[in-house]
Amino acid sequence: MEVSPIVWTLTIAGIVALLAFDFFFHVRKAHTPTLKESATWSAIYVGLALSFGLGVWFFGGSKMGTEYFAGYVTEEALSVDNLFVFLILLSSFKVPRKHQQKVLLFGIVFSLLARTGFIFLGAALINSFAWVFYIFGLILLITAGNLLKPDNHDDDSETLVVRLARKLLPASGHFDGDKLFTEVDGKKVLTPMLLVMVAIGATDILFALDSIPAIFGLTQNVFIVFTATAFSLMGLRQLFFLIDELLDRLTYLSYGLAAILGFIGVKLILHALHENNLPFINDGQHVNVVEISTGTSLSVILGVLAVTIIGSLLSPKGKAKAMVSNAKRHATSYVDLNYETDIAERERIFDKLVREEQELKRLPEKYKRLIRNETEFMNLIRRAHAEHDQALERAGEK
């Protein structure tokens, strides 16, 4: 079905309006979103995405609607996986919690622009060269294999993107609110705020290399590809603050995504064989193969995600891994607080750390081995306790 220019215009205008609303009413004034705020707006954005899908189904037919929902669910799952890397980047640059919203919104806008470019480039290649489906399928199969590697989300060392950003863009050693530039010794220099935005932007481009082939494996309708991608990104900021402490519970997410990407990769290669015109394959003739319907694809994607998420949440190892990661994260957040930080904020973070320490002590010995660099980990915990004692003494003197 051909989508009219007016529908394209209204859709793009609506997306831009949502992004502008997000910035002016949520992000411009730096603050840490509450759980209620994050949950409410996550639900609103998911509701908008689902409502849009129902509109596509009603006006475009069941085939177009199924393609949209399959694309949206796949892109949303990949976006959640990307949150792991965002969390590592924000931690590596020690971005203050209240300024993380602005960094994430920038990442979403940059990602949307970059992926739009990739979408139209991919569509042009597909329309001109049927063999591109082979390339897309191979990319997804390689990505699926990489997701099966252990320690796929390793937060114990700085990522290549972080190291390059620090090396190529020297900046001041401290944040100046949410400013991108500041003055040091009378000279204008970059702040870590700009560095982390560059790092997230570069990472988004890498994410697009598997995201765009994945959705083209489900539909070649450019309007569906664009809108499913856009809506999967729109609520990502709110989702980050809603589930950032639950991310490590999704122990088997990488395996689920590997299965989904591998499945779509096979689907793409089957489609490429069906449309084959390469002379060294079947003498340039189409190959009579079974093609996987979009309805079947949607069922497989939903089924794999359901099994993955339920299995992760019920996994004792996932619970233990989450405890370790959250304790490390809260201890790091505490020692990175400014000297002037309000005692109430200190108490909030410290209380979480204490609860996690108590839970860690009750873990079976085999799960305590999940703590990497145990000596460094315990020193970090002790430092947080020492700094909290000092903070309480300062508060008592006032």
Residue 82 to residues 19, 70, 340, 383, Cα–Cα distance (Å): 20, 19, 33, 31
The pair of structure tokens assigned to 75 is 């892109």
Whole-number pLDDT of residue 69: 95
DSSP, residue by residue, 131-194? THHHHHHHHHHHHHHHHTSTTTT--SS--HHHHHHHHHS-B-SS--TT-SEEEETTEEEE-HHH
pLDDT of 184 higher than 80: no
Under the banding of pLDDT at 50, 70 and 90, the label for residue 227 is very high
Q: Which helix (H) or strand (E) holds 367?
A: helix 365-368
The pLDDT of residue 306 = 92
Task: Return the structure tokens found at 101.
Answer: 């919203």
Task: Provide the 8-state DSSP code for 33.
Answer: P
Regarding pTM above 0.85, the answer is no
pLDDT digits (tens, 9 = 90+) for 146-181: 888 765 555 444 455 556 666 666 667 677 777 777
Q: Is 177 exposed, middle or buried (0-12, 13-18, 19+ CB in 10 A)?
A: exposed
Per-residue tokens: 221: 């309708």
* pLDDT value, residue 157: 42
Question: Read out DSSP for 240-302?
Answer: HHHHTTTGGG-TTHHHHHHHHHHHHHHHHHHHHHHT---TTSGGGPPP--PPPPHHHHHHHHH
Distance CA 395, CA 398 (A): 5
Mean pLDDT of 271-289: 83
* pLDDT band at residue 58 using 50, 70 and 90 as cut-offs: very high
**Please, what's the largest Cα pairwise distance for the chain?**
86
C-alpha to C-alpha distance for 209 and 139, rounded to whole angstroms? 8
Q: Which amino acid is at 325?
A: S
Mean pLDDT of 25-48: 84
Pick the residue with more confidence: 337 or 101?
A: 101
